[in-house]
Amino acid sequence: MTSGRAIRAETLKLLSLPATYCTVLGTIGVAMVLAIAFSRQGVSPVGYPQAGFIVLGVIAATSEYRDGQIYLTLIAMPRRIVQHLAKMAALLIVSVPAATFTVLVGVLVAGGPWPDAVGASVYLVLTSVLSAAVATVLRRSVPAVAGLLGYYFIVGPLLRDRVTFAAYLPDAASHDLVVFGDATIVLGWVLVAVGFSATTFHRRDA
């Protein structure tokens, strides 16, 4: 019962942020333009739009820390683990439709197999949760965005062809999507990251 109300509260908070709408609409718009422009060059529908989901996850987590909102949140909901998981659930509620829509736009414009679309949506949703977990630990939006984008767009792609363990890194699925195989690896990373962020959030001062 409590967790239901916590999820409802977190969803309301996330939906009250203008940045949420700007990010989601911007991502879908950019995904559409890129799909139209680059459909003939075989650009993955996940590649660039995943940046939008990274930013969405970061905003969901760091908006609490900008004006000290976290104090109010913890007065209303002192059980930190429940609060943290409720925030992740609220992020899922927003990112699942956003990811589905982004991928559908890409597939409709560029053409592509439907099973891939499911895997791509799952990957985008998991990436946003992973970003939220990282941002919870960092608590500041600029370092979180710089670190995550630097990893996903510079370090990750450069490691991909050079090291053997690259297939087990969280960004492997953005490159070549094997329907649920790679999503499982990302899911593993997400569970580890959320476990870590929940522990950190539980133990340290707000």
Partner 1 sequence: MRAYRGELRKLVSLPSVWAAVAVGVLVPATLTFLNAKSAVAAGRGGNADIGFQELAFGVVGAVILGVVAVSSEYTTEGESAGGGRQIITSLTAVPSRRRLLIAKLTAVITAIATLAAVSSAITLMTVEALLDEGAGVSGLGRLPGVVLYWVLTALLASGLTLLTRNGILPLTVLILNTSVVTVTYLLAKLTPLAVFFPDLAGIRMFVKRVDLPVQLAPVTGGLVMTAWVAALLAAGFLVFRGRDA
Which parts of this chain interact with partner 1 (CB under 8 A)? 34, 37-38, 41, 43, 48, 51, 55, 58-59, 65-68, 71, 140-143, 145-146, 149-150, 153-155, 157-158, 162
> At closest approach, how far in Å is the CB of 181 from partner 1?
23
> At closest approach, how far in Å is the CB of 47 from partner 1?
8
Tokens standing for 58?
């970061």
Q: Which is nearer to partner 1, 25 or 146 (CB)?
A: 146
> At closest approach, how far in Å is the CB of 73 from partner 1?
13
Q: Which is nearer to partner 1, 7 or 62 (CB)?
A: 62
- In the chain, DSSP assigns E strands to none
Residues in Cβ contact with 34 at an 8 Å cutoff, skipping those fewer than 6 apart: 43, 48, 49
Residues in Cβ contact with 48 at an 8 Å cutoff, skipping those fewer than 6 apart: 30, 31, 34
Distance CA 154, CA 126 (A): 20
> At closest approach, how far in Å is the CB of 68 from partner 1?
4
Distance CA 157, CA 92 (A): 26
> At closest approach, how far in Å is the CB of 141 from partner 1?
6
Q: What is the DSSP letter of 45?
A: S
Q: Which is nearer to partner 1, 48 or 189 (CB)?
A: 48
Q: Which is nearer to partner 1, 15 or 155 (CB)?
A: 155
CA distances from 193 to 85, 100, 102 (A): 12, 23, 25
Candidates 78, 69, 80, 56; CA nearest to 134 is 56
Q: Which is nearer to partner 1, 42 or 111 (CB)?
A: 42
